[in-house]
Amino acid sequence: MSSRLTTILVITLLAGNAWPEEIKKPDTPQAATGTGSSNTTNASNNPANPMITVDLQNYFMPSPAGYSGRTGDLGYLRVSVPVDKFGLHQYIRTILPIVTTPIVQGGPDTGAGDLTVYDFLLNQFRGTSIGVGPLIEAPTARGFDYGPGKWQAGAAGILLTPLSWGLLGVLPTYAHSFSGNSSSPAGQNLTVQPLIFDNFPRGLYFRSTGVWNFDTYYHVDYIPVGLGVGKVWRRRNGDSINLYFEPQYSVYETGSTAPRWQIYSGVTLKFPIGDKQTER
């Protein structure tokens, strides 16, 4: 409940400062250079597009390493809000994971993970969007099987290039513990997410977005490679709905609970700020 309240407060505080005047400026970072259909698809897949964004995503993990015959599951609620403060373009993302662990005897058990917030400071260089900023993670997890139980701090970044046929990019994050439950080990977590989107007519696209994980808390590392499909619908008022499905196979995995296979699926909802949202 406290995690949900935190998320609601963050959204409420940020929404009033969201980028209303910037969406009409020609120098606002773009995320599309192709046809109208490709531009719409790029905008829906761009994690730094200046629109209020809600992501509901899920990873289903059958028979993770060390737990054959059991299943794991990792869901995410992500809320992202563009903010313009002191003439700086920022993009603040709040993430609440819901973890179903295969470790618990008698079957999986479910609980909230650690709440993460990070803030990109965005700019553009020769058509490429570049962002970097601080990250903080609060120990809201139900227990050590759901999160490290420590405050963590680090950084997040994004590098994204729009092309006539789609998007190419990468989204890395890094966090290191600095305070919290003394019985939990200190550690660090690094993720790297390549972003590859290949657009087709009518809002259809291919995607590959497996998140590489390197975790010293649980000594679990894995590098998934995915190939999936998605479909974007855009409404007249500028809202967009993006549905996707992406099976992923780990070309490298080590440590208990690391997924050999996982099925990634989700929906992304984007809402324009102001009276009109330009294509990005």
In a domain, 13, yes or no: yes
Residue-wise pLDDT for 182-226, tens only, equals 666 778 999 999 999 999 999 999 999 999 999 998 899 999 999
Report, as an integer, the average pLDDT of 54-60.
97
- The CA distance from 174 to 136, in Å, is 10
In a domain, 199, yes or no: yes
Report the alpha-carbon distance of residue 121 to residue 42 in Å, rounded: 20
pTM value > 0.75:
yes
Residue 280 lies in a domain: no
Q: Which residue has the higher pLDDT, 179 or 31?
A: 179
- Whether residue 277 lies inside any domain: the answer is no
Residue 143 CA neighbour count, 13 Å, CB half? 8
Count CB neighbours of 180 within 10 A. Answer: 17
Residue 101 within any structural domain of the chain: yes
User: Is 256 among the domain residues?
Assistant: yes
Domain of 161, CATH number, reads 2.40.160.40
Give residue 56's domain range. Answer: 2-271
Flag whether 123 is in a domain: yes
Residue with tokens 């729009």: 162
Is residue 278 situated within a structural domain? no
Domain count, the chain: 1
d(CA 264, CA 43): 20
The pLDDT tens digits of the residues spanning 86-122 come to: 788 899 999 999 999 888 766 568 889 999 999 999 9
Per-residue burial over 233-255, b = 16 or more CB atoms within 10 Å of its CB, e = otherwise: ebeeebebebebebebebeebee
Residues making up the chain, counted from first to last:
280
